[in-house]
Structure 1
Amino acid sequence: MANVRFSGVTKAYGNTSVVSDLDLELPDGSFTVLVGPSGCGKSTSLRMLAGLETVTSGTITIGERDVTHLQPRDRDIAMVFQNYALYPHLTVAENIAFPLRATRTPRREALSRAGEVAESLGLDKLLSRKPKDLSGGQQQRVAIGRAIIREPSVFLFDEPLSNLDAKLRVETRTELLQIQRRLGITSVYVTHDQEEAMTLSDRMVVMRDGHIAQQGPPQEVYTQPADTFVATFVGSPKMNLLDGQFRGRDFLLANGFALTTDQAGAAGQLTLGVRPDDLQLAVTDSDTAAAARVTLIENLGPRAIVTIDARGTEITAVVEGPALAGIAEGTPVALSVRPGATHLFDAATGQRSV
């Protein structure tokens, strides 16, 4: 096991920088997820760590070793790819054992070790099957087993669950997290799925345009987003961002709609952030043009996503089942924010102010 450090790492193609001056330290045994939209530099950062992309400037270290210019085989890492990359002509046992066979470990010893790894992954009854006879989840577990058997210093995962259906994705990420916790190997995982990032990571790194927008424990990133980009990227449905100013404890939008809060903010123009889960709806008798109205209800079983038209501004709320009583499309509602649930950002820069 080992810690990983990026020090001033930049990757450029000609005059275009994909990753710029990246400084990042990943503690020994941690599970770090790099997350962000397409083109933010997360996969390039992982590939530089793996040695699959060259570094334009800066250094990458694993433990005390500078691996910036080492070949992938010399970095003591194991990587799980999005497309599994299994050998179709080999059995499950042979696929898992392949890294040991590549280092000339005797066949019997390699297959014995593969059997132990397969058992830990629930694959022990599938050892003689070929990849074509496996489900997507089983194939991914074989790919993980092939990485585990090497006992590397660092695991790298490049969107390994994106090819699975929703149910398998949830099941496999749970298994993956349990495996990492059991082995305690430093792991770096890339995804564009913020829910996956929240679930898996003990350290979450949100990237944007080749830079780190915010990093920290996932709950901290969720509850204290550094700017409006992180605020809307992390969380589903995304945070409501409303421009306006405080008048007492009401936040007044430019269109005249007032949202009730439990605090009085600073004077001047601000951007108010409110998570959909933190909005409270109350049916009102008001039938004036100034009232907010429900325009859409998306039922999700125990809760619903409710879209509201607040005098031309769209606001999203998540409403628990019992609170939906009396609310239908077209219903006029009053809106307020749960106590302590407001996020304030500078209207000009988007940076967090409170």
Structure 2
Amino acid sequence: MASVKFSKVEKSYGTTTVVSELDLELTDGSMTVLVGPSGCGKTTSLRMLAGLEEVTSGSIHIGDRDVTALEPKDRDIAMVFQNYALYPHLTVRENIAFPLRAKKLSRADAHKRADEIGESLGLGKLMDRKPKDLSGGQQQRVAIGRAIIREPAVFLFDEPLSNLDAKLRVETRTELLRLQRKLGITSLYVTHDQEEAMTLSDRIVVMRDGRIAQAGPPEEVYRRPADTFVATFVGSPKMNLIDGAVVAGELRTESGLRMTVGGPDASSVTVGVRADDLILTPASGAAATVELVELLGPRAIITVRAADQQLTSVVEAAALNAITPGATVGLSARDAHRFDVHTGVRIEA
């Protein structure tokens, strides 16, 4: 196990910079998740740590070693890819054992260790099967087992669950988190799925245009987003953002929207309200109208039209009797965030 440190790391292709001044530290034994939209630089950052992309400037350390110029094989890392990359002619046991066989460990010892890891991954009854006889989730667990058997200093995960269906993705995500906690190996995980990032990470790093937009514990990033980009990217449904003025605790827009938000007056501000914090109160003659109700078991996602704004609220299903399509509702915020209307940067209370 080891810590990882990116120091002023940049990556450019000609005149195009895809990662800029990346300063990031992964503490020993942690699970750090890079998340962001396509093209933000997260996969390039992972590949630079793996040695699959050259660093244009800056340095990368694993523990006390500067690995910036080392070959991938010399970095003591193990990587799990999106496409599994299993050997089709080998059994599950042989696939998992392959890294040890490549190091000239005896067949018997390598297979014994592979069986132990396969059992821990729920693959005990599948060890003699070929990859073509496995489900997508089982194949991914084999790929993870092949990474574990190397006992690396650092695990790298490049969107490993994106090819799985929703049910398998949740199950494999849970298993992956359990294993990482058990093994305590420093891990860097890349995904575009913010829900996956929130669930897996000790620390979430939101990237935008090759830079870190915000980094911190997932709860902190969710509760105190640094700007409007992070506010809308992290959280599902995404945060409601409304430009207007706050007068006597009420948000008012030129188009006629009115919402109780509390806090000091502001002549021009962007107010952000999480869907969970947008309270709908049945009210005759109110300016907001319910457009759509999406029932999701015990909760429902409500789409509301208020003046020229489309807003989203999450409510308990038990409260839906008076909140039906076409109903008028009053709006208030249980908790409201404020951002600079020009820069999008968070304004602290």
TMscore range, shorter length: over 0.9
CA RMSD, aligned part only? 0.8
* Matched residue, 1:348: 342
For the residue of structure 2 that corresponds to 1:325, the secondary structure is helix
**Residue 64 of structure 1 aligns with which residue?**
64
Instruction: Please identify runs of 4+ aligned residues in structure 1 that moved more than 4 A.
Output: none
- Which residue number corresponds to residue 49 of structure 1? 49
Once residues 137 and 342 of structure 1 are traced to their aligned partners in structure 2, the CA distance between those partners, rounded to angstroms, is 40
C-alpha displacement of 1:233 = 0.1
Equivalenced residue count is 348
Match of 1:332 in 2: 328
In the other structure, the counterpart of 2:279 is 280
- Residue 311 of structure 1, CA deviation: 1.1
Pairwise mapping of residues 4-19 of structure 1 onto structure 2 (< 5 A)? Answer: 4-19=4-19
Aligned partner of residue 315 in structure 2, secondary structure: strand
Gaps of 5+ in 1: none
Question: In the alignment, residue 311 of structure 2 is paired with which amino acid?
Answer: I
**8 Å contact kept, 1:243–1:254:** no
Give the whole-Å Cα distance in 2 for the aligned partners of 1:16 and 1:344.
34
Query: Matched residues in 2 for 1:293 and 1:91: separation?
Result: 59
Aligned to 1:185: 185
Percent identity at matched positions? 70
How big is the shift at 1:267? 2.4
AA of the residue aligned to 1:273: G
CA distance in 2, matches of 1:165, 1:265: 46
Tell me by how many angstroms 1:124 deviates.
1.2
Match of 1:313 in 2: 309
Deviations 1:137-172 (Å, cap 9, x if unpaired)? Answer: 100000000000000000000000000000000000
1:122 aligns to 2:122 (yes or no): yes
Kindly provide the amino acid, as one letter, of the partner of residue 223 in structure 2. Answer: T
Instruction: State whether residues 240 and 274 of structure 2, in contact with CA within 8 Å, keep that contact through their aligned partners in structure 1.
Output: yes
Shift of 1:126: 0.7
CA deviation profile, 1:36-60 (whole Å, cap 9, x unmatched): 0000000000000000000000000
Residues 304 and 310 of structure 2 are in contact (CA less than 8 Å); yes or no, is this contact kept in structure 1?
A: yes
Q: Distance in 2 between matches of 1:273 and 1:108?
A: 60
CA contact under 8 A between 1:50 and 1:75: conserved in structure 2?
Answer: yes
**2:263 & 2:3 partners in 1: Cα distance?**
44
SS at match of 1:85: coil
Asked if the contact 2:247–2:265 (Cα under 8 Å) also holds between the matched residues in 1, the reply is no
Of 292, 300, 310, 1:304 maps to 300
Q: State whether residues 245 and 251 of structure 2, in contact with CA within 8 Å, keep that contact through their aligned partners in structure 1.
A: yes
Query: Does the Cα contact within 8 Å between 1:247 and 1:264 map onto a contact in 2?
Result: no
Listed as ranges, the matches of 1:100-139 within 5 Å are: 100-139=100-139
Using the alignment, how far apart are the partners of 1:267 and 1:224 within structure 2? 20
